[in-house]
């Protein structure tokens, strides 16, 4: 028999998942929505923990607002995983055609499989927001494997001032989208992803160990993400500070030269009144840096300084 196996691959449709590079994830999300969902009734359902700041705007929510799509929000559990009952209730309303889930801080949403089944059941398109999860998705985690659309914020992961990426599970979602920063493909391939992921993971694990051994753990603060999944790669390490000292701790840590952030310190006004526990979390959350420039020898000082400011 002849012609059963060709010498090289030539079928350009096999495993084809089109990718587009942008200046930011939100620019890509805007392109996706504008090309696919121009109808005024195409509602977008998002998680209720979305931040806003004067410099950064509101990430994934900006394009939805800009394009005028109707929107709604579903609740999250205290650790920012999806509250499945509320999600299903909102999907069952029939008001939405697009569901956005966020893999917060690069942690793979644990109910991803169930959420994907719910998206199919209610006939909505699943957008996986991997703004924080590029290295989780490319490193073998399930994050990014279920979404019809996956969005990545490359400037949060690489030392770039700009950069976003959208990939589509199917070419049928590509209508007229266009990259605005195609050269990013070269830029991201010029870094060693495995080494970056390893450094981020080891920084996360080492800081977590130190935090768990502090007597203040469980009383003055709590870990929001106590166990790192085997293939997740963190963007930051989130903790929840008890009481009302978060802003002071944040300020003092930064004054001491430790680049903490609060993701998110202020929520978009559209969720503030309806999701009390999320608003509350936004007043208590603080995130440790774990990125590839964080040197392991500075972690002792980082955690000691944190402990001293917790007790000020």
Ligand X SMILES: Cc1ncc(COP(=O)(O)O)c(C=O)c1O
Residues that bind ligand X (CB under 6 A): 24-26, 56, 59-60, 102, 129, 131, 153, 155, 164
By C-beta, is 125 or 131 nearer to ligand X? Answer: 131
Closest-CA residue to 177 (of 187, 185, 167): 167
Residue facing ligand X at closest CB distance: 59
Least distance CB 20 / ligand X (angstroms): 13
By C-beta, is 268 or 294 nearer to ligand X? Answer: 268
Least distance CB 110 / ligand X (angstroms): 17
SS3 of residue 174 by DSSP: coil
Burial class of residue 265, CB neighbours in 10 A (0-12, 13-18, 19+) = middle
Could you tell me if 119 and 126 are in contact, meaning their C-beta atoms sit under 8 angstroms apart? yes
By C-beta, is 26 or 252 nearer to ligand X? Answer: 26
By C-beta, is 56 or 209 nearer to ligand X? Answer: 56
Could you tell me if 138 and 231 are in contact, meaning their C-beta atoms sit under 8 angstroms apart? no
By C-beta, is 131 or 188 nearer to ligand X? Answer: 131
Burial class of residue 240, CB neighbours in 10 A (0-12, 13-18, 19+) = middle
SS3 of residue 181 by DSSP: coil
Could you tell me if 204 and 211 are in contact, meaning their C-beta atoms sit under 8 angstroms apart? no
By C-beta, is 129 or 245 nearer to ligand X? Answer: 129
Least distance CB 65 / ligand X (angstroms): 13
By C-beta, is 26 or 246 nearer to ligand X? Answer: 26
Least distance CB 25 / ligand X (angstroms): 3
Could you tell me if 221 and 240 are in contact, meaning their C-beta atoms sit under 8 angstroms apart? yes
Least distance CB 104 / ligand X (angstroms): 7
Least distance CB 152 / ligand X (angstroms): 8
Measured distance CA(151)–CA(161) in Å, rounded: 17
Least distance CB 116 / ligand X (angstroms): 19
Least distance CB 56 / ligand X (angstroms): 5
Handedness of CA 241, 222, 289, 297 (dihedral sign): positive
By C-beta, is 52 or 306 nearer to ligand X? Answer: 52
Rg (CA), the chain: 20
Angstrom distances, CA of residue 250 to CA of 131, 241, 260, 262 = 23, 10, 6, 8
Count CB neighbours of 244 within 10 A: 9
Burial class of residue 230, CB neighbours in 10 A (0-12, 13-18, 19+) = exposed
Angstrom distances, CA of residue 143 to CA of 32, 35, 138, 235, 306 = 20, 25, 9, 14, 31
């Amino acid at each position: 028999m002849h012609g059963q196996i060709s010498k090289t691959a030539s079928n350009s449709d096999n495993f084809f998942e089109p990718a587009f590079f942008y200046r930011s994830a939100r620019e890509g999300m805007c392109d996706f929505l504008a090309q696919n969902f121009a109808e005024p009734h195409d509602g977008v359902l998002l998680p209720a923990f979305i931040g806003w700041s004067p410099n950064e705007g509101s990430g994934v929510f900006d394009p939805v607002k800009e394009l005028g799509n109707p929107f709604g929000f579903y609740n999250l559990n205290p650790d920012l995983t999806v509250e499945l009952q509320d999600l299903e209730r909102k999907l069952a309303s029939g008001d939405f055609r697009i569901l956005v889930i966020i893999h917060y801080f690069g942690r793979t949403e644990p109910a991803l499989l169930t959420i994907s089944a719910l998206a199919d059941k209610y006939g909505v398109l699943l957008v996986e927001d991997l703004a924080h999860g590029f290295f989780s998705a490319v490193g073998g985690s399930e994050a990014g494997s279920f979404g019809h659309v996956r969005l990545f914020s490359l400037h949060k992961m690489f030392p770039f001032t700009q950069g976003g990426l959208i990939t589509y599970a199917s070419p049928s979602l590509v209508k007229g989208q266009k990259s605005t920063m195609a050269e990013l493909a070269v830029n991201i391939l010029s870094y060693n992803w495995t080494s970056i992921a390893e450094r981020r993971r080891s920084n996360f694990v080492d800081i977590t160990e130190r935090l768990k051994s502090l007597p203040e753990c469980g009383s003055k603060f709590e870990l929001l993400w106590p166990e790192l999944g085997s293939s997740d790669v963190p963007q930051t390490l989130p903790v929840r500070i008890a009481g009302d000292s978060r802003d002071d701790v944040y300020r003092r840590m930064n004054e001491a030269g430790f680049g903490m952030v609060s993701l998110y310190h202020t929520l978009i006004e559209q969720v503030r009144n309806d999701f009390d526990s999320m608003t509350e979390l936004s007043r208590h959350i603080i995130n440790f840096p774990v990125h590839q420039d964080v040197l392991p020898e500075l972690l002792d000082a980082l955690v000691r300084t944190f402990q001293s400011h917790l007790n000020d």
